[in-house]
Structure 1
Amino acid sequence: MSETEHLKETDMVRQPIKSAPLIPNIAPIQFLRQSSSMLDIPIRTTATAVLYYHRFNDFMNSKEKVINVDGSLSEEDVLYQNEELLTTTCLQLACKATEVPRKVRDLVNVGYRYYHPKGTTLDVDENYFKMRSSLVTSELLLVRALGFDLEVELPFAYCLNVLRGLVSIRYFMTDEAKKTTKRHHHSYTAQKEIWKKMENDMEPEMSAIARLAWMYVWDSLCSPKIALTHSIPGIGLGCLYLALRTSEVEMSMSMSEYVDMWGASENISVQAVRDVVTDLLDFYDHFPNITTPTITTTTTTI
């Protein structure tokens, strides 16, 4: 068989890659948020866990289906079908990647209590140690599925930095600020004081925009399509632009001028920002039609 014929045959049996869905399975996302609140985990770690979850699902949807000779599923498929184990694993790995240590016992107990609200208290018995053992194995599977790439960049900082830039323009329009800028142009300490004063003097309107943009960024990360197909700067700019528009703040520039000013350094196009805004609006349009999320759990251990 020639190489060309072999490639054609391979393409015939390979399943097409599914595009990331716009609307996620809400139950796992809700678990990651609530368990993070119970364990006092910062939002950066929670968002990292959510992205791990999206990336693993994308990996499973794009890989070829493998069934063993005896008909059993592969270890990755077992993890894929066990939401309780998968979400707990994502949260544990995110805690390690972001250096937010949490006890395995606490992660297991919170996960068990969330997915089995009417069950009995999890005792330190054989079942408990089986869950711990499965968590260790599933963590190795998750790391391998992620390609050993655990670094996650989030849009929160980029979005707020652009907002600070917008606020600084308005702040430095005052004569007093202009004089201070000229007098301490080369002083890093003075610049820090200016930024601190600027944030303390932020108008309530801009503070509301910051909170709204933060909410949009978080919601965008909950959508697999937005989180996996758009760039981080594009998501940050799109969410902030949507926050500015929905808050009806007066803008002296069009979207093209806005993107050229704040996205040129990252080579972000106007269409990229427009796509983020469109997908986020579609996300909100479809969200009310989602039925009550179902929790899928299995007792299979890895």
Structure 2
Amino acid sequence: MKNVLDVMSLQQHVETSKAQNMKPIDYRKSTKPGLVPLYIFECAAKLKMKPLTAACAAIVYHRFFKEVKASDYDEFLIAASSLYLAGKIKDDDTVKIRDVINVAYSTLNRGSAPLDLNDEYWAMRDAIVQAELLITRTLSFDLNIDLAHKYLLYYMKTLQDWVGTDVWNSVPIAKTAASYLQDFHHSSNILKYKPTHVAIGCLSLALQTYGVQVPLTDESDEASMWYKPLVKDFTRENQWEIIEDVIEVYKHEASLKAN
């Protein structure tokens, strides 16, 4: 059980390490599409945000731009405001607006020192607060973000008991599934699916990654698949759609980092 419950704290360490080891992207100069979610998670790692808070920020960002035209808004400002708003939604006391401002600014302007309490700082602070109000209104004040993480933890605990501790501990299924889930938040495609389906899809991909066969299941018979007792409305088609979308995240990230 401890191996499962430690996944979220481990995920925070993984995200921080990724940010430290990642080759810096000049967000100001790059014209490649889809950079902003990468920016959100880089800022979140620097802010030492909890994984749930970072994921919440990404969902807020994706939901906002599902409702509006991206070219009408400063995507990086909305991203910074999403980080700040997510801290409130998840009651993450570590997220302070001054830290968000400094990290968002320095990440966007590589090599720049943190802002002093001058006109530029107060202008950015006001912009983030105003953007927060805009996001809230655009989302019709619906800030109930149902993340897939809690479902993933429950499903992993169930599956751990099902496959047995020895098999479960022989490969990093929990860590891998959690990474797939967190990374899926880079894509707006995550909004297409129910959180329960996202959790099952990421766990299924982790099992397939390590070739783990769940006992007493038959891959040729969908009715006997391991996920049916957990999520009755999940289908094999859902499974492959989510897996394809998760894999696409990594392909897209590789293209963003390519010179």
TM range (shorter): 0.7 to 0.9
Instruction: Kindly state the Cα deviation for residue 285 of structure 1 after the two structures are TM-superposed.
Output: 4.3
CA 1:105/1:223 → structure 2, altered by over 3 Å: closer, same or farther? Answer: same
Alignment of 1:48-127 (within 5 A): 48-61=56-69, 77=72, 80=73, 82-101=74-93, 102-127=95-120
State the Cα deviation string for residues 63-105 of structure 1 (Å, max 9, x = none).
xxxxxxxxxxxxx92xx2x233111100010001111133221
Q: Decide which of 236, 239, 258 is 1:273's aligned counterpart.
A: 239
Asked if the contact 2:57–2:83 (Cα under 8 Å) also holds between the matched residues in 1, the reply is yes
Instruction: Kindly state the Cα deviation for residue 61 of structure 1 after the two structures are TM-superposed.
Output: 3.6
**Mapped pair 1:205 → 2:170:** yes
Which one has the largest radius of gyration? 1
Asked if the contact 1:263–1:269 (Cα under 8 Å) also holds between the matched residues in 2, the reply is no
Instruction: Kindly state the Cα deviation for residue 151 of structure 1 after the two structures are TM-superposed.
Output: 1.2
- Alignment correspondent of 1:236: 199
Instruction: Kindly state the Cα deviation for residue 59 of structure 1 after the two structures are TM-superposed.
Output: 0.9
Asked if the contact 2:196–2:231 (Cα under 8 Å) also holds between the matched residues in 1, the reply is yes
State the Cα deviation string for residues 33-78 of structure 1 (Å, max 9, x = none).
222222221000000000111111111149xxxxxxxxxxxxx92x
Q: Decide which of 158, 166, 172 is 1:165's aligned counterpart.
A: 158
- Give the fraction of aligned pairs with identical amino acids, expressed as a percent: 27
Instruction: Kindly state the Cα deviation for residue 112 of structure 1 after the two structures are TM-superposed.
Output: 1.0
- Alignment correspondent of 2:51: 43
Asked if the contact 1:88–1:111 (Cα under 8 Å) also holds between the matched residues in 2, the reply is yes
List alignment gaps of at least 5 residues for structure 2: 1-31
State the Cα deviation string for residues 87-138 of structure 1 (Å, max 9, x = none).
1100010001111133221111111111112335422111111111112211
Asked if the contact 1:259–1:270 (Cα under 8 Å) also holds between the matched residues in 2, the reply is no
**TM-score, normalising length from structure 1?**
0.66
CA 1:248/1:275 → structure 2, altered by over 3 Å: closer, same or farther? Answer: same
Alignment of 1:135-284 (within 5 A): 135-171=128-164, 203-205=168-170, 208-225=172-189, 227-252=190-215, 253-255=217-219, 256=222, 257-264=225-232, 267-284=233-250
For 2:203, the aligned partner's letter is: L
Asked if the contact 2:58–2:185 (Cα under 8 Å) also holds between the matched residues in 1, the reply is yes
Separation in 2 of the partners of 1:151 and 1:25? 28
For 1:246, the aligned partner's letter is: T
Q: Decide which of 288, 291, 294 is 2:254's aligned counterpart.
A: 288
Separation in 1 of the partners of 2:160 and 2:113? 53
**TM-score, normalising length from structure 2?**
0.76
The RMSD of aligned alpha carbons is 2.5
Asked if the contact 1:86–1:138 (Cα under 8 Å) also holds between the matched residues in 2, the reply is yes
State the Cα deviation string for residues 143-195 of structure 1 (Å, max 9, x = none).
01112111111112212211211221344xxxxxxxxxxxxxxxxxxxxxxxx
